[in-house]
């Protein structure tokens, strides 16, 4: 007997979100129906998220797997698990790259080792009108209440940092950062969705492991989980689960890792697929 899908976990940008990288009525309506059918939906993202309402999901009871799996929260936003970066490795990174505008994320705060202007300058528009609009929004969006700029190494090391982001288009800096990660592969990993962004976490952190951990907490087997993604930080998740799907605009690596390729986020492929799965299974429930 084919198991029911009890947990749906999805990446956001290029996957669950629409082409403008945000929610809309069609997405919210579909997720509401999936939840009403007694299923769980988790947001699996590289972003730092405390609750779905921060990203336009209102009061929908969504679990969150954020920081590429460094943080797991329940549907009320309560922290279930965090996995900090090794302190010695973090200190070596901060000292070794003094000019990098690192964004250091813990369970409560985001500390930026740089100015607001340096942080915003890292958002380079991707191709097309939508990409330019998203970059403009990021540059002009007011900082969140939990986002602090001009922080020092001491500020960062005083907290339980679980994820470090760094945006750079400098080929030399990228080579040096990649070499640093390779030298510290036992404690550090980079799982990024594009080549100019480093998303550094504890080496044992990834979306696949985190979604599996969340499923176990919900009493759900891995074969009862469906996952969706489109980029490099989704590969471990897409490879791990038998019910895994990439969007049509996903990277070639994501498409190879997934069990199937569905439509585009422009056409709400992911929420439509979730809802269709529930409707197909309802007679068997």
CATH number at residue 115: 3.30.1240.10
Of 185, 202, 219, the residue that ends a domain is 202
SS3 call for 246: strand
CATH number at 275 reads 3.40.50.1000
Q: Is residue 2 part of a domain?
A: no
Q: 187 and 227: one domain?
A: no
Ramachandran quadrant class, 162 (left: phi over 0; alpha: psi -120 to 50; beta: rest): alpha
Residue 200: both structure tokens together? 């550094």
- Would you give the end-to-end CA distance of the chain in angstroms? 12
Q: Which domain holds residue 92?
A: 87-202
Select from 163, 186, 202 the last residue of a domain: 202
| Radius of gyration for the alpha carbons in the chain, expressed in angstroms and rounded | 18
| Among 240, 236, 241, residue whose Cα is nearest residue 68 | 236
Rounded to 5 degrees, what are φ and ψ at 8?
A: -110, 130
- Residue at 1 is within a domain: no
DSSP-based three-state secondary structure for 151: coil
Same domain for 74 and 135, yes or no, is no
Neighbours of 96 (CB within 10 A): 11
What per-residue confidence (pLDDT) applies to 284? 46
pLDDT of residue 98: 96
Beta partners for residue 199, in sequence order: 165
**pLDDT at position 141, please?**
58
pLDDT in tens, the chain (285 residues): 567 999 999 999 999 999 999 999 999 999 999 999 999 999 999 999 999 999 999 999 999 999 999 999 999 999 999 999 999 999 999 999 999 999 999 999 999 999 999 888 765 544 455 445 555 455 545 556 689 999 999 999 999 999 999 998 899 999 999 999 999 999 999 998 767 899 999 999 999 999 999 999 999 999 999 999 999 999 999 999 999 999 999 999 999 999 999 999 999 999 999 999 999 987 544
Indicate the number of domains in the chain.
2
Report the C-alpha gap between 23 and 276 in whole angstroms. Answer: 19
Q: What is the pTM of this model?
A: 0.91
* 225 and 143 together in one domain: no
Considering the domain architecture, whether residues 188 and 102 belong to the same structural domain is answered as: yes
Query: In this predicted structure, what is the pLDDT of residue 124?
Result: 55
Q: Residues 74, 152: contact at Cβ < 8 Å?
A: no
pLDDT at 143: 57
């Amino acid at each position: 007997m084919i198991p029911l899908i009890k947990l749906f976990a999805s990446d956001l940008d290029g996957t669950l979100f629409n082409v403008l990288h945000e929610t809309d009525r069609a997405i919210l309506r579909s997720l509401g129906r999936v939840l009403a059918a007694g299923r769980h939906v988790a947001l699996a993202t590289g972003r730092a998220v405390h609750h779905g309402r921060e990203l336009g999901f209102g009061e929908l009871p969504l679990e969150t797997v954020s920081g590429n799996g460094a943080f797991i929260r329940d549907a009320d936003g309560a922290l279930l698990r965090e996995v900090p970066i090794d302190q010695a490795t973090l200190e070596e990174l901060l000292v070794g790259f003094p000019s990098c505008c690192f964004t250091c994320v813990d369970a409560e705060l985001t500390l930026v080792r740089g100015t607001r202007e340096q942080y915003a300058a890292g958002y380079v528009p991707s191709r097309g009108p939508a990409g330019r609009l998203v970059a403009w929004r990021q540059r002009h969006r007011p900082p969140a209440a939990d986002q602090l700029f001009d922080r020092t190494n001491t500020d960062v090391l005083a907290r339980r940092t679980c994820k470090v982001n760094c945006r750079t288009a400098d080929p030399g800096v990228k080579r040096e950062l990649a070499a640093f990660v390779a030298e510290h592969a036992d404690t550090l990993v980079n799982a990024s969705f594009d080549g100019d962004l480093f998303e550094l976490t504890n080496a044992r952190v990834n979306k696949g492991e985190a979604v599996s951990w969340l499923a176990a907490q919900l009493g759900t087997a891995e074969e009862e989980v469906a996952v969706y993604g489109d980029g490099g930080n989704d590969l471990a998740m897409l490879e791990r689960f038998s019910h895994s799907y990439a969007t049509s605009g996903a990277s070639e690596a994501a498409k190879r890792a997934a069990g199937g390729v569905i439509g585009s986020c422009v056409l709400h492929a992911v929420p439509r697929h979730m809802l269709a799965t529930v409707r197909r299974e309802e007679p068997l429930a």
